[in-house]
């Protein structure tokens, strides 16, 4: 079986858990004899291709000739961010207007034969433009390759998945790693929500990374429950090893590692740190990450007067992340809404006792992480205090947690995904 897979990032070029999840899943699929063509907007050439073949969208022309462009306009009209719904037009006038719009599209596209778009692959101010151009290139890639199923990860690639489906006629799976409700709460970006909904509606199957996310997909996006399946994430432990590291400070270390954004709940970590420091002083708190709430978090720490016990590292990756886990005595993930959350699994594998919010998908598969409501700062502070001051509690959490996470393998998640692929092939046959 061969899969055409679209993803916005892939290790070592990642900004969060999405790229890590794509890597783990593709490795698991390879062990189950599934070949993956992985399309990313901007590949650097240093990606590990032992389990996948990387296609760099920046190296692919959207279309080479008049026939390809005509086919694109006929089949992938959704790429235009406009509407043909014009009030007060009769049927004949409406048809004429649509033809004029289609000719306008043709005039815009025809000067671009052989043109290659250079994608940044980042999350900058022109992100929407890159998302739409990426879908243009996706249709070309779908014409040039043979595959059985299309798999698109998160909203950035849903339009690419739809384009590939319309050109090839192959079934589409969209993988929901997070929703706009996770990222923004109730103040959602309507444009992103619309793209997410369109992708889910066009998909033949929707994979959610947790039951929490599945419920959001069904209730907030009104997707047919019969086509939405939960496949929990896992974690790749092949490169994890026990590290002996000298801290350089005598105090115990409590770590928050993630984007410093609304979704991850950094303010609750800070408030809990303040409460813990009222009881014990031989502890330091580390916030490792970056994000739009970074400056506000720094100001809050200063206002609370705990700067001497609080450290901001900025964004960490690779070896620095592993070292940070090795330094840590407690790991905390106080997310407001976390579709899954791979970092607690990594912490537990590194023998770090872990506290997670009940509002996270990973809480569905962990019994030996301490769980608190994200908003309950007192409960969070109590949990941190307990793990720091009661060695038996910490040791039990580490021992049982390690056994638990060892059972969460990408091979198992990949087998469930392969079964979803196979169900689509059976429907087509």
So what's the pLDDT on residue 240? 53
Nearest 5°: the CA angle 233, 238, 242 is 110
70: in domain: no
What are 144's two structure tokens? Answer: 């040039």
Nearest 5°: the CA angle 320, 326, 332 is 90
Phi and psi angles of residue 6, each rounded to the nearest 5 degrees, phi first: -110, 130
Cα distance between residue 56 and residue 6, in whole Å: 11
Cα distance between residue 274 and residue 305, in whole Å: 9
CATH of the domain at 285: 3.40.50.2000
Cα distance between residue 11 and residue 136, in whole Å: 24
Using the predicted structure, report yes or no on whether residue 284 has a pLDDT greater than 50. Answer: yes
CB contact at 8 A, 356 and 344 = yes
Query: Does 51 lie in the same domain as 195?
Result: yes
Question: Which of 321, 8, 47, 313 is CA-nearest to residue 135?
Answer: 8
Using the predicted structure, report yes or no on whether residue 73 has a pLDDT greater than 70. Answer: no
356: in domain: yes
pLDDT in tens, 388-418: 999 999 999 999 998 888 888 899 999 999 9
Using the predicted structure, report yes or no on whether residue 79 has a pLDDT greater than 50. Answer: no
Query: Does 204 lie in the same domain as 126?
Result: yes
Query: Does 280 lie in the same domain as 165?
Result: no
CB contact at 8 A, 422 and 2 = no
Torsion sign over Cα 248, 343, 257, 348: negative
User: How confident is the model over 275-300, as a mean pLDDT?
Assistant: 95
Cα distance between residue 350 and residue 328, in whole Å: 9
Cα distance between residue 425 and residue 429, in whole Å: 6
**What are 255's strand-pairing partners?**
286, 331
Query: Does 310 lie in the same domain as 200?
Result: no
Query: Does 227 lie in the same domain as 137?
Result: yes
So what's the pLDDT on residue 298? 97
- What percent of the chain has a predicted confidence (pLDDT) above 70? 83
Lowest mean pLDDT among 28-42, 105-119, 388-402, 414-428: 105-119
So what's the pLDDT on residue 112? 54
- Return mean pLDDT, the chain: 86
CB contact at 8 A, 178 and 262 = no
User: How confident is the model over 316-332, as a mean pLDDT?
Assistant: 91
Query: Does 178 lie in the same domain as 30?
Result: yes
């Amino acid at each position: 079986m061969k899969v055409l897979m679209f993803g916005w990032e892939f290790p070592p070029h990642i900004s969060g858990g999405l790229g890590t999840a794509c890597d783990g899943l593709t490795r698991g699929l390879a062990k189950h004899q599934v070949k993956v063509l992985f399309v990313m907007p901007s590949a650097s050439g240093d990606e590990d291709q032992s389990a996948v073949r990387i296609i760099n969208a920046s190296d692919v022309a959207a279309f080479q000739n008049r026939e390809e462009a005509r086919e694109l306009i006929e089949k992938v009209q959704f790429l235009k961010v406009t509407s043909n719904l014009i009030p007060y037009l009769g049927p004949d006038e409406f048809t004429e207007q649509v033809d004029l719009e289609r000719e306008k599209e043709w005039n815009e596209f025809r000067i671009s034969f052989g043109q290659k778009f250079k994608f940044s692959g980042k999350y900058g101010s022109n992100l929407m433009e890159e998302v739409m151009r990426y879908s243009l290139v996706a249709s070309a890639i779908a014409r040039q390759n043979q595959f059985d199923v299309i798999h698109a990860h998160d909203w950035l690639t849903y339009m690419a998945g739809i384009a590939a489906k319309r050109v090839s006629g192959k079934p589409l799976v969209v993988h929901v790693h997070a929703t706009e409700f996770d990222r923004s709460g109730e103040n959602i970006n309507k444009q992103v929500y619309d793209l997410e909904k369109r992708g889910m509606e066009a998909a033949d199957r929707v994979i959610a990374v947790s039951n929490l996310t599945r419920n959001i997909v069904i209730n907030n996006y009104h997707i047919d429950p019969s086509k939405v399946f939960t496949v929990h994430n896992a974690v790749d432990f092949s490169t994890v090893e026990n590290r002996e590291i000298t801290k350089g400070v005598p105090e115990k270390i409590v770590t928050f590692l993630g984007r410093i954004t609304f979704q991850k709940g950094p303010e609750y970590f800070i408030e809990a740190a303040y409460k813990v420091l009222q009881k014990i002083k031989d502890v330091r708190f580390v916030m490792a990450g970056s994000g739009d709430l970074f400056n506000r978090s720094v100001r809050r720490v200063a206002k609370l007067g705990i700067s001497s016990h609080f450290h901001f590292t900025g964004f960490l990756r690779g070896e620095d992340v592993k070292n940070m886990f090795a330094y840590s005595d407690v790991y905390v993930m106080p997310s407001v809404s976390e579709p899954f959350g791979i970092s607690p699994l990594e912490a537990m594998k590194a023998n770090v006792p872990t506290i997670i919010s009940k509002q996270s998908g990973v809480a569905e598969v962990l019994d030996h992480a301490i769980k608190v409501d994200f908003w309950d700062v007192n409960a969070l502070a109590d949990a941190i205090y307990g793990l720091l001051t009661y060695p038996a509690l910490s040791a039990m959490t580490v021992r049982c947690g390690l056994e638990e996470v060892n059972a969460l393998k990408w091979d198992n998640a990949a087998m469930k995904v392969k079964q979803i692929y196979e169900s689509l092939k059976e429907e087509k046959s």
